Each structure stands twice: as C-alpha cells, then as structure tokens.
Amino acid sequence: MNQDSIVSTETKLGEPGPSRKVFIKTYGCQMNVYDSGRMSEALAGEGYVATEDMQEADLVLLNTCHIREKAAEKVYSALGRLRDMKNERQAEGREFMIGVTGCVAQAEGEEIIRRVPSVDVVIGPQTYHRLPEALKRARSGRSVVDTEYAVEDKFEHLPDQSRAVSARRNVTAFLTVQEGCDKFCTFCVVPYTRGSEISRPIEQIVREAEKLVSAGVRELTLLGQNVNAWHAEGENGERLGLGDLLYRLSEIPALKRLRYTTSHPRDMDDRLIEAHRDLDMLMPYLHLPVQSGSDRILKAMNRRHKAADYIALVERIRAARPDIALSGDFIVGFPGETEEDFQATLRLVETVGYAQAFSFKYSSRPGTPGADMPDHVPDEVKAERLARLQELLLSQQHAFARSCVGKTIDLLLEKPGRLPGQLIGRSPWLQSVNVDAKDVEIGDTIRVRITGTGPNSLFAEVA
C-alpha cells in the first residue's frame, strides 16, 4: 500500500489540439493511484498526453501521501530537482509547469509556494477536478493554491473514466465509493488531509461501475479511507451499508469479481459479513487493520476496540467465509509501548494468522495527538521490535502461500507475463499467479491448479 508508483495513460482522450505531455508521480495508497488516473483523464480533455518519461514532460504532478514520517520533506526534495528542470526549460523558451496534489498539498498549502515559488499549482484531494482550470490560471504567472474542501461533487465534474479504461484495455479497476475519516486515531493525519467521511450516492457508484464493466472491466475494487463506513439511504428511508452496495453491484452482468479496501473493524457489520457468506464474486480476501494487540495501546491510539473484540470479529467472518484470507496493518513502537504491549501484538498475530500484512515503525505526524504524547520509544527499540514482528508475519505469509499449492482456482487473466506464452492473474486471495496458457485472452477466467510458490507470487498450470 505504501509503494511508490507511476500512473500513466497511453491514449489521448480529449479533443484534438496542441499536445502537451504530463508526468504524474504517485506516492502512497490505492486511493492516490485512483486519483492520479482521474487527474490524467481530466487533463486529457485539455490536450495532455501522459508520459512515463519525466524528461519529456511539459507538466509534472507530484500526487503526494502524508502518512509516513518526513513525507513533506521528501516532496520538497523532489521539488528542488524540478525547480532546476524548470529553470533549464525556461532558458530554452519551453513551458514547464509543476503541480503538487494530494495529502501533502492539503496539509502544507501556501507553505509549498513560499518555500518553492516555482510551483505553479497546489491542489488538495477534494479539488483535483479543478486542476485544468487551475493550470489555465497559473499560466498568467500567478501560482494557484486550491485546498478548500469542495462544495460541489467532484465526481460529477470528472470525465468518464471508462473511456480511459477501454483505451488501456484494463480488466480490473479501482472505484472510489467513500472518502475521508471520522475515527481520529491519534497516530493518523488522514482526517486532517482528507476531511470527514463522505459517501458517494449509490446511483452514481452503480452508474460508474456499469460503464466500467461495459468498457471491459471484470474486477472492481471499491476504495475508501474507511470503505466499510460507506452508507446511503434506501428507497424506503432505510440505511444502506457497504454490504448492501456489494449485493447491488453483484447484479451487474459480466462483472466477475468484487473487492474492497481499506476497512475499519468498528464498521464491519452483520450485513457486510453476510455479503462475504453469500456472494461468490466477493473475493475471500479482507484487509482489516488492527494496529496493535495491546488494549492499553489500542486505547491510546483511539481505536475504540479491544484485541478480544478484533479476534471475535475475525472468528465471525471466518465462520461466514471459511476460505477467507486476512491482511492487516501494524504499528510498532507507539508512544508508551512496552515489551509487554509488544508481546500482546505478537500473540494476536499468532492467534489470527495472516496471509499478508503491512507493518511499520511509529512515525510522529505533526498536528496529531500522538506527536504530543510522552514516552516515545527509542528508534533502535522500534527497529528491533519491527524485525521480530516482520519475521513472524513473513513466516505466516509463506505458510499461507504453501497451503495454496495443489488447490484449483478460477484465475482472471490480467496481463502478459515476462516469458512467451505466460499470463498473469490474481488468485482470490490477491496473490499474483503465473500460468502458461494457450487459446485464451486477457479478461478470460480459466481454471488452474497451483503448482508452486515464488518469493512474491504463485505458479500454476491449466486444470
């Protein structure tokens, strides 16, 4: 989730006109990947063609993440290099524009322009639909900062992403259904950069999903900072939750798979668990962060659940869907964490058993309550504990992969492999699967038998 990636669109989607090139560097989570794609589509309508070569770009956007320590300083370091590129281009009489978007843009705002005056636009996560207009205004010679939370629905102002998906011939797609967070965990900056929890209307979501499926998408991953906090009002005034949305999306013809991320344990209700029980197309993989196994630390984090609550929830989910695989998030070395607290985390991991997990040393985020807490854990202690936790999590991940060998599964083919005749898809549990297959196409679903494991993937043969 915290890997840097580059989002690009190979096909120009807008009206004919003078072509400019845009390079977008994306930091952080799947939500930022989705946002970068939508910005690329919006800019295509203004004549921009995406490129993966920064050197040939006329516009560079840094779509930033603020979740890790020193995130802002990394952005400023990158901006220093871009400033030098801009000076070189201007000396050649060529246009070169710089934009900062995402969570660092939201958090830093005008400070970015003060520190790096060569930046042309600073756009927050809720206003990136205004990016084309901001660029037009910035060409007049004045930097534009737009980090106000938008009153209008940005999704109604963004172009139809199904056109870009069709052009790229994607068979999987992200679909944002919820944004923001009201949980205010004491370690997290998201409520301050993404705002309060907002749910997209169900009609809007279904309409976009149907267009994506018509464009060739066969697997949808629903996105949200707290995706299972999504809610809407039904026709009779009843409250609908994510489970109801999944049931509705499962009715779309030609859609084969559904996933969602990221969940909060407090929002995992009965209806959502029933969806895991009833919907075969809802993949048996759930990312359910717990962060710590210590009740004392969970309370300090403001997670509002105890370790026993989390374990009981996992048991209910597994009773409904026995083949489900779990992923989680863990923070090591939160202020005040003792060795006893850390041992409680190890015990929870051993009890639950994870197919995959993300684990990090606690990093202080300015403006969050955790930053002002006493008893910060020394970095060398955090590093040592993280190494022990990751050793346990990695052993569980490898054990889960080995348990898949010999199983026969349905595999949705997503892209060509590195070798001739090889194709790659993802297992129901989100692992990459390599298979040699003939007379099939990207987007087909085939039956395969898992034959072996690699460091980060599985190998299979046609069943």
Distance CA 97, CA 74 (A): 19
In a domain, 166, yes or no: yes
Q: What is the pLDDT of residue 257?
A: 98
In a domain, 389, yes or no: no
In a domain, 308, yes or no: no
CATH number at residue 227: 3.30.750.210
Residues 103 and 224 in one domain: no
Contacts of 155 (CB under 8 A, 6+ apart): 129, 176, 200, 204, 208
In a domain, 117, yes or no: yes
Q: What is the pLDDT of residue 149?
A: 78
Measured CA to CA in angstroms, residue 17 lies from 12, 13, 43, 61, 139 at distances of: 11, 11, 13, 21, 17
State mean pLDDT over 222-229: 96
The response to whether 404 counts as a known ligand-binding position is no
Domain finish residue from 122, 146, 170? 146
In a domain, 315, yes or no: no
186 with 300: CB under 8 angstroms? yes
Q: Which of 84-98, 113-127, 137-151, 215-229 has the lowest mean pLDDT?
A: 137-151
Q: Which of 127-136, 167-176, 350-359, 382-391 has the lowest mean pLDDT?
A: 167-176
- Mean pLDDT rounded to a whole number for the chain: 91
In a domain, 425, yes or no: yes
Residues 16 and 118 in one domain: yes
Residues 228 and 274 in one domain: yes
Task: Count structural domains, the chain.
Answer: 3
Range of the domain at 239: 160-283
Residue 445 CB burial class (10 angstroms; 0-12, 13-18, ≥19): middle
Residues 97 and 194 in one domain: no
Q: Residue 226 gets which letter from DSSP?
A: T
pLDDT of 156 > 90? The answer is no
Higher pLDDT, 9 or 196: 196
Domain finish residue from 283, 312, 345? 283
Residues 46 and 113 in one domain: yes
Note the pLDDT tens digit of each residue in 374-413.
999 999 999 999 999 999 999 999 999 999 999 999 999 9
Residues 141 and 164 in one domain: no
129 with 150: CB under 8 angstroms? yes
Domain finish residue from 254, 283, 312? 283
Residues 133 and 173 in one domain: no
In a domain, 369, yes or no: no
CATH number at residue 443: 2.40.50.140
Residues 117 and 75 in one domain: yes
CATH number at residue 94: 3.40.50.12160
Residues 164 and 275 in one domain: yes
In a domain, 370, yes or no: no
